[in-house]
Amino acid sequence: MKTTITTILFTLGLMAGTAYAAEPATPTPQQSKMATCNKDAGDKKGDERKAFMKECLSAKKATQQDKMKSCNKDATGKTGDERKAFMKDCLSK
């Protein structure tokens, strides 16, 4: 009887551990940003890498309004379909 209970408890423990380990970890936005900056840092070393990582991690994503201002400025002189295509491409980046 003792061995049966021990076997059941052992099996339940293995099942619980397997279920916990199977859950995929979703990276936080900060972890994603860190991974991107790390990849972009490439072969930089020492103070150069430190400065790059500081700048990269503190950079804020451009707001839609900022993008619109920048794209409008760059689209100066374009008209019609050419401007429409340029703005669509520019704003989607």
Within a domain: residue 67?
A: yes
Q: What's the pLDDT score for residue 12?
A: 60
Within a domain: residue 76?
A: yes
Within a domain: residue 13?
A: no
pLDDT per residue as tens digits for the range 14-63: 665 555 555 567 878 788 888 888 888 888 999 999 999 898 888 777 78
Within a domain: residue 64?
A: yes
Q: What is the 3-state secondary structure (H, E, C) of the chain?
A: CHHHHHHHHHHHHHHHHHHHHHCCCCCCHHHHHHHHHHHHHCCCCHHHHHHHHHHHHHCCCCCHHHHHHHHHHHCCCCCHHHHHHHHHHHHCC
Q: What's the pLDDT score for residue 87?
A: 92
Within a domain: residue 70?
A: yes
Q: What's the pLDDT score for residue 47?
A: 95
Q: Characterise 56 by phi-psi region: left (phi > 0), alpha (psi -120 to 50), beta (else).
A: alpha
Within a domain: residue 85?
A: yes
Within a domain: residue 69?
A: yes
Mean pLDDT along residues 73-91: 93
Q: Domain range holding 67?
A: 60-93
For residue 10, pLDDT beyond 80: no
If one counts the domains in the chain, the total is: 1
Q: What's the pLDDT score for residue 31?
A: 86
Q: What's the pLDDT score for residue 84?
A: 94
For residue 4, pLDDT beyond 70: no
Within a domain: residue 31?
A: no
Q: What's the pLDDT score for residue 20?
A: 54
